[in-house]
């Protein structure tokens, strides 16, 4: 093929006051994997939306396979051979895999003929690319990795020569990630051009030939992967050096037992048992990492331990207090007993998005004497307290009146941490502390969690990022299908071993 597959020249895109893309120029050689990395809000997704026709650029030119083009909507992008796999899959759960691929690409008015034709094409495609999916299965029953392969098939069968993948490994186990990468490498070898948007630098180093680093809407760095390192890319991404690896632990060692749960069992509304006889202990001055692929019961476990849900069986000891399924812990009592909770879902749980920052900064603690007296909120004192918290935890912008929803993911998370950590909890439950958080804030959050451990808090860290668990935890529990399937001190953990346990493989 002659010339680059994609050439973007001087792309500018503005949303209100935000310059999401500022004079972005990008060239992707045909048949290569090109990485685009950057913090949240760096403009990667906007750039890809421009290429895929979701947004029209304010200015700039797009060339596809050497031809200047105008891409006004995704249909035109598809017609030009551009396909996109979104981070959140665009599949209909109740349809079969085949029907999902067929949707919108029916070649014949009679469905069975269209299906037969599509099946033949898919079989050929699956054979040549190695993307295997059970076509008759209902999408709801497919594992996440299969759904992603289905999304890629969907794009390829529509003639995609250029494939955009947005954070494709966010929901995959290490094994699934590896098999995805094998497929992507083969696709590239067969001539497909792949644009990989990610914040995982390790993946860029493994898979990509070239990489573009974006920061604050601009391209700040563009290089061949062979000429760079993950550390250099991280520095380029945030404009300074960061340390996210494991650190020698400070402070006192492991102390007394703070929380003990025994035989927790929980059934969902449909009567399906989602947690099976689950037991765990948290000691003062340690971080226990709970690893697992999202959706294996970690969220439910956090909600049980924080009192948001009641189990069907099991007991809990928190400090000197004992609870059982009939008399379970309540969130308010949990806070009074010094148990703080940074929930996984910032948007739906940790903050009231419509509330001003100072209102969200007291959520769950509005009973405290500092927050209210005789039923009246002490609004002035709360505003001041929130301003001090935002100063101490570096929440930007420092505007207590700004709606919680207007902060970036990292700053929202800092606001939540500020609220929960400032009460010097005895036990901290923290779920996905750095999801959707940019690298600079990740470093800050890790520091805060380590400082809390050093101060003698017992921490339970739930994360689907193995790197995060390995960087922070002292002891690692692995969860699969509602059970804890393994426990290791962190020194005896390898990514591969944990990954196998996360996938439910028995490990000797």
Partner 1 sequence: MNAAAPLPRWAELWLLPLLNLGIALAAAGVVVALVGQDPAQVLAVLLHGAFGTPRGIGYTLYYATSFVFTGLAVAVAFHAGLFNIGGEGQAILGGLGTGLVGLWLGSMLPAWALLPLMALAGATFGLAWAAVPAWLQAHRGSHVVITTIMFNFIASTLLVWLLVDHLKPAGSMAPESAALAASAHLPTLHQALGRLGIEWPASPLNLSALLALAAAAAVYLLLWRTRAGYRLRSVGASPGAALYAGIDPKRQVLLAMMISGALAGLVGMNEIAGVQHKLLLEYVGGAGFTGIAVALMGRNHPFGIVLAAVLFGALFQGGAEVAFEVGGFSRDMVVMLQGFIVLFSGAMAYVAAPLLARVLRREPARG
16 lies in the site for partner 1, by CB under 8 A = yes
| CB closer to partner 1 out of 348 and 424 | 348
85 or 351: CB nearest partner 1: 351
> How many residues of this chain interact with partner 1, rule: CB under 8 A?
36
- State the binding string over 19-58 for partner 1 (x if CB under 8 A, else -): ------------------------------x----xx---
For residues 287-316, which are near partner 1 according to CB under 8 A? 306-308
Q: Is 332 in the site for partner 1 (CB under 8 A)?
A: yes
Task: Choose, by CB under 8 A, the member of 348, 424, 496, 507 that binds partner 1.
Answer: 348
Q: How far apart are the first and last CA of the chain?
A: 50
Q: Given the rule CB under 8 A, which of 131-139, 219-227, 239-247, 342-350 is the region that contacts partner 1?
A: 342-350
Q: Tell whether residue 15 is a contact of partner 1 (CB under 8 A).
A: yes
17 binds partner 1 (CB under 8 A): yes
Q: Is 323 helix (H, G, I), strand (E, B) or coil?
A: strand
| C-beta of 144 vs 371, nearer to partner 1 | 371
Nearer to partner 1, 20 or 485 (CB): 20
In angstroms, give the least distance from the CB of 361 to partner 1.
12
Q: Which stretch binds partner 1 (CB under 8 A): 129-137, 157-165, 213-221, 365-373?
A: 365-373
Q: How far is the CB of 488 from partner 1 (least distance, A)?
A: 31
Quick one: CA torsion of 64, 69, 71, 76, rounded to 10 degrees?
Answer: -80
- Closer CB to partner 1, residue 272 or residue 376? 376
Q: How many CA atoms lie within 13 A of 157 on its CB side?
A: 27
DSSP 244-275: -S-----S----SEEEEEEEEEEE-TTS-EEE
Written as six digits, the tokens of 210 are 């070239």
- Closest among 203, 89, 86, 81 to 146, alpha carbons compared: 89
Identify which of residues 259 and 503 has a Cβ nearer to partner 1 in the complex: 259
Minimum CB separation of residue 280 from partner 1 in Å reads 21
DSSP lists the bridge partners of residue 275 as 266
Residues 6+ apart with CB under 8 A from 373: none
- Assess 321 for contact with partner 1 (CB under 8 A): no
242: left (phi over 0), alpha (psi -120 to 50) or beta: beta
Rounded-to-integer distance, Cα 206 and Cα 200, Å: 10
Locate tokens 């969690």: which residue? 449
Q: What HEC string does 341-399 produce?
A: EECCCHHHHHCCCCCEHHHHCCCCCCCCCCCEECCEECHHHHHHHHHHHHHHCCCCCCC
Q: Which residues bind partner 1 (CB under 8 A)?
A: 15-17, 49, 54-55, 306-308, 330-332, 334-335, 341, 343, 345, 348-355, 359, 363-364, 366-367, 371-372, 375-377, 379
């Amino acid at each position: 093929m002659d010339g680059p597959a994609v050439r973007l020249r001087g792309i500018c895109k503005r949303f209100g006051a935000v310059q999401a893309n500022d004079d972005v120029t990008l060239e992707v050689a045909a048949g290569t994997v090109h990485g685009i990395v950057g913090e949240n809000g760096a403009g990667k997704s906007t750039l890809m939306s421009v290429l895929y026709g979701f947004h029209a650029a304010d200015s700039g030119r797009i060339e596809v396979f050497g031809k200047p083009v105008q891409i006004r909507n995704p249909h035109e992008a598809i017609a030009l051979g551009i396909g996109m796999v979104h981070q959140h899959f665009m599949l209909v759960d109740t349809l079969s895999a085949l029907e999902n691929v067929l949707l919108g690409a029916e070649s014949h008015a009679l469905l069975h003929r269209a299906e037969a034709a599509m099946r033949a094409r898919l079989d050929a495609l699956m054979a040549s690319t190695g993307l295997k999916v059970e076509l008759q299965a209902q999408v709801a029953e497919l594992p996440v990795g299969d759904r992603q392969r289905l999304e890629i098939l969907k794009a390829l069968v529509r003639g995609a020569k250029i494939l955009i993948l947005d954070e494709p490994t966010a929901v995959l186990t290490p094994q699934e990630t590896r098999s995805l990468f094998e497929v992507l490498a083969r696709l590239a070898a067969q001539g497909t051009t792949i644009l990989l948007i990610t914040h995982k630098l390790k993946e860029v180093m493994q898979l990509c030939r070239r990489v573009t680093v974006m920061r604050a809407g601009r391209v700040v760095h563009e290089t061949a992967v062979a000429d760079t390192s993950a550390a250099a890319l991280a520095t380029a991404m945030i404009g300074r050096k960061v340390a996210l690896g494991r650190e020698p632990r400070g402070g006192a060692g492991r102390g007394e037992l703070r929380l003990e749960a025994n035989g927790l069992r929980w059934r969902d509304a449909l009567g399906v048992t989602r947690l099976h006889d689950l037991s765990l202990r948290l000691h003062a001055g340690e971080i226990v990492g709970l690893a697992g692929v999202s959706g294996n019961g970690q969220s439910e476990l956090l909600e049980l331990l924080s009192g948001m849900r009641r189990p069907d069986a099991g007991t809990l000891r928190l400090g000197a207090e004992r609870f059982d399924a009939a008399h379970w812990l309540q969130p308010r009592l949990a806070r009074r007993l010094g148990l703080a909770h940074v929930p996984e879902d910032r948007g739906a749980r940790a903050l009231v998005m419509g509330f001003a920052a100072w209102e969200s900064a007291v959520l769950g603690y509005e009973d405290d004497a500092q927050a209210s007296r005789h039923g009246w909120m002490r609004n002035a004192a709360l505003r001041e307290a929130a301003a001090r918290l935002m100063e101490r935890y570096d929440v930007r912008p420092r505007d207590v009146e700004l709606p919680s929803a207007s902060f970036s993911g990292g700053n929202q998370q800092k606001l939540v941490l500020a609220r929960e950590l400032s009460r010097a909890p005895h036990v901290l439950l923290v779920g996905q502390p750095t999801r959707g958080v940019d690298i600079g804030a990740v470093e800050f959050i890790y520091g805060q969690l380590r400082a809390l451990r050093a101060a003698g808090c017992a921490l339970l860290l739930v994360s689907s990022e193995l790197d995060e668990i390995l960087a922070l935890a002292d002891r690692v529990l692995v969860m699969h299908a509602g059970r804890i399937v393994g426990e290791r001190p962190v020194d005896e953990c390898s990514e591969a071993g944990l990954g196998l346990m996360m996938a439910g493989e028995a490990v000797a």
